[in-house]
Amino acid sequence: MKMTGSEYGMQSARHRRRILTSGFYLVYSIFLISCSGSPTLRQDLTDAQVGVEAKEAPMLAKLVAEGKLPPLEERLPEHPLVAKYDFDGYERPGIYGGTWHRFHTSADMGSWKMVAGYAPLVRWRFDCTGLEPGLAESWEFNEDGSVLTLHIRKGLRWSDGHPFTSESFAFYYELCLDERHQHRPPVWCLVDGKPMKVRTPDDYTIVMEFAGPNWLVPLWLATGFWWSDDYNIPKHYMKQFHPDYNPEYKDFIEFERKDLTHQNPDRPTLWPWRVARYEKGGYRVILERNPYYYVVDNLGRQLPYIDRVKSNLIPDPQVRVLKILAGEVDCQYRGMELRDLALYMKGQEPGGYQVRKWKSTAGAQPAILMNWTDPDPVLRQLIRDQRFRKALALGIDREKCNEIAWRGLLQPQAATVSQEGWHFADASGQILFEEWKRADADFDLDRANALLDDMGLLERDKEGYRLRPDGKRLTIVMDVPSSNLNSQENDIGLIIQEGWRQIGIDAVLYTPPGAELSLRRTLGEFTISMHGEAEMDLFTYPDWVFPTLPKYWHPKVGKWYETGGKEGEKPTGPMKELLDLYDKIKEEKDLQKRHEYVRQAVRIHIEKGPFHLGTAARSPSLVIVADHFHNVPNDGILGPWAIVTPATSYPEQCFIESSRP
């Protein structure tokens, strides 16, 4: 069944409204700028010292002179971490001072943590080729990979000056083993369902003992800002809210509230800038430099260069556009939409900024998730038939998805992870990846119909829809975000609905509120859903390829794996093959062999899939950089959160050279 004229009309009207609205933004923004005579942004650099002779910020040197702060040599560790700068876009060692103006899009400040909330024991390199030291200066395994020992830098301090030692990690792990607290032993510490044991023989040594080989742990310690946000807990501050240390508290409610680094200015941190205060009813966050920050530049000068950060909460994407065009943003890595690219490009000169295009490395925008464990037993049986999945794939017009939803800026392809991922770095890896991109990526309604006929789905009702084996109409409910929540995915839902109706499937779009949309996916209470797909490291974020967690296209099989078989559904067929491969990865010492296991899993997806379907992929990710803002990489990856970019490029090296009039 084809899309009706009225549906096409509604779709066309929506796109006309977008064009008109975008034009309004540009005109209005130019009006704002022209009326003011110049962008309103002003930088206070009166204390900044020109040149690179200063080893610390003037605002800190003043406190040292007044006796309010220890001298620099007492605030840095014995061997500070030296920021890497081997990227295109690094200019030179910076000057101290100034305020970084930016915005965040949600109250949890996740986008800021991806910039400057990354203080892990072990770090990802910016080029995503492996790991480098962080809070831990070095680490080593025993012979069989069952014991990992980490050596913390001596002299590390929290932002309040208290020593950072192995006690912090031990305190965190005690919480994980405490049934009263929300923390549980993390997935990466479990071997055969048994949690690790932790020893801290001295202030600078952490020993993790596992029930068997667990070679991936350093990668897990480096992955995402969220793990280090969990395991770096300032015991000296937090114990006052712990019921075992303070009888005033009977539970961990207040403990958990006080432990939120981005919301509690009193909580000591290891971030380059600490939260100083909230203003404007919580809509502005002021961060100030951490006087005990453990990272220096290549001249031994303490970072960060910039004194303060002012970040405004701006959930409305239209207001973000106006802020950028008006020149009120110094540097912004996330929060811009591709549909506004033309506006941003035209506004560069009057706004005093540059637009840089980083890579999203997205393998699907979005991926179409088919629930392997659909709650409807008839649909579950159909989805587990490869012919049915292939027919659904053949019914997606990816060229139209790209043209309508993305204005032709992306690439139509099958659903994959990130082509830049280190598993596919060599020539043979790239050949395999190109094959994966092409697999089940054609739009061919005749072949799709033939596959469904071959399955025996020949009977149709009076409206032309196929009948299921139980005689009911073959209806598929597709969970789609509303157009005001995600216009691109909503458009793509309409395009897929049209294609699937032409192969006799009654595709019904369901647009629940965002929270329900996410919950249905997590609980496995869906048939078809959507999710953006990108991942650079499948060892620590395996779920797009390996069904290890209750999410994406394998919620109940993932639950079985996560709980060691206590909940969920036991894997069979290709699900078991994939999980067996992942178990081999965890036990394998040799890195190249681990990469090969990933490639074997991709081969299963090609030959026995698809398990999730592609639409369009590989959009650029926009970065806004003011003309006076320096040391921002010209290129990078802003897609997968697990590799924590741009934090791995050390944004604390950014500096502001001159003020605007």
Q: Give mean pLDDT, residues 340-344.
A: 95
Provide the token pair at 20.
């008109």
- The per-residue pLDDT for 485 is 81
**pLDDT of 84 over the 60 cut:** yes
pLDDT per residue as tens digits for the range 398-433: 999 999 999 999 999 999 999 999 999 999 999 999
Q: Give mean pLDDT, residues 640-652.
A: 95
Q: Given this chain, do its domains 1-102+279-359+622-661 and 362-617 carry the same CATH topology?
A: no
**Residues, the chain:** 661
Give the range among 46-55, 86-95, 144-153 with minimum mean pLDDT.
46-55
Question: Which of 625, 100, 12 is CA-nearest to residue 358?
Answer: 625
- The per-residue pLDDT for 193 is 82
Place of tokens 């604390």: 652
Q: How far is CA 87 from CA 83, 111, 265, 515, in A?
A: 12, 22, 33, 39
pLDDT tier at 30 (50, 70, 90 boundaries)? Answer: very low
Amino acid identity for residue 94 in this structure: G
pLDDT per residue as tens digits for the range 595-620: 999 999 999 999 999 999 999 999 99
- The per-residue pLDDT for 13 is 37
- The per-residue pLDDT for 610 is 98
- The per-residue pLDDT for 51 is 62
**pLDDT of 43 over the 80 cut:** no
Question: Which of 547, 541, 562 is CA-nearest to residue 639?
Answer: 541
Q: Give mean pLDDT, residues 438-455.
A: 98
**pLDDT of 480 over the 90 cut:** yes
**pLDDT of 37 over the 90 cut:** no
**pLDDT of 492 over the 90 cut:** yes
- The per-residue pLDDT for 31 is 38
pLDDT per residue as tens digits for the range 537-558: 999 999 999 999 999 999 999 9
Q: Where exactly are the structural domains of the chain? A: 1-102+279-359+622-661, 118-270, 362-617
**pLDDT of 655 over the 50 cut:** yes
**pLDDT of 27 over the 80 cut:** no
Residue 599: enclosing H or E segment and its boundaries? helix 591-608
Tell me the pTM. 0.87
- Written out in words, the top-level CATH class of the domain with range 362-617 is alpha beta
Judge: domain 1-102+279-359+622-661, CATH 3.40.190.10: yes
Q: How far is CA 633 from CA 38, 213, 337, 636, 654, in A?
A: 27, 38, 20, 7, 10
Long-range Cβ contact pairs of 19-22 (< 8 A, separation 24 or more): 21/318, 22/339, 22/340, 22/342, 22/343
Proportion of the chain above pLDDT 90, given as a percent? 85
> Dihedrals φ, ψ of 378, to 5°?
-70, -45
- The per-residue pLDDT for 513 is 87
Proportion of the chain above pLDDT 70, given as a percent? 92
- The per-residue pLDDT for 7 is 37
**pLDDT of 587 over the 80 cut:** yes
* Other CB atoms within 10 Å distance of the CB of residue 236: 17
Place of tokens 């069989």: 144
Which pairing describes strands 284-289 and 273-279: parallel, antiparallel, or unpaired? antiparallel
Give the range among 24-33, 312-321, 459-468 with minimum mean pLDDT.
24-33
pLDDT tier at 637 (50, 70, 90 boundaries)? Answer: very high
Q: Give mean pLDDT, residues 468-496.
A: 94
Q: Give mean pLDDT, residues 109-134.
A: 96
Give the range among 161-175, 360-374, 461-475, 504-518 with minimum mean pLDDT.
504-518
**Average pLDDT, rounded, for the chain:** 91
What are the residues facing 620 on neighbouring strands? Answer: 359
* Other CB atoms within 10 Å distance of the CB of residue 103: 23
Q: Reading across the β-sheet that carries 506-510, which strands appear in turn?
A: 506-510, 475-479, 528-533, 364-370, 612-613
**pLDDT of 309 over the 50 cut:** yes
Report the CATH fold assignment for 118-270: Dipeptide-binding Protein; domain 1 (3.90.76)
Q: Which residues contact 641 (CB under 8 A, 6 or more apart)?
A: 110, 114, 224, 225
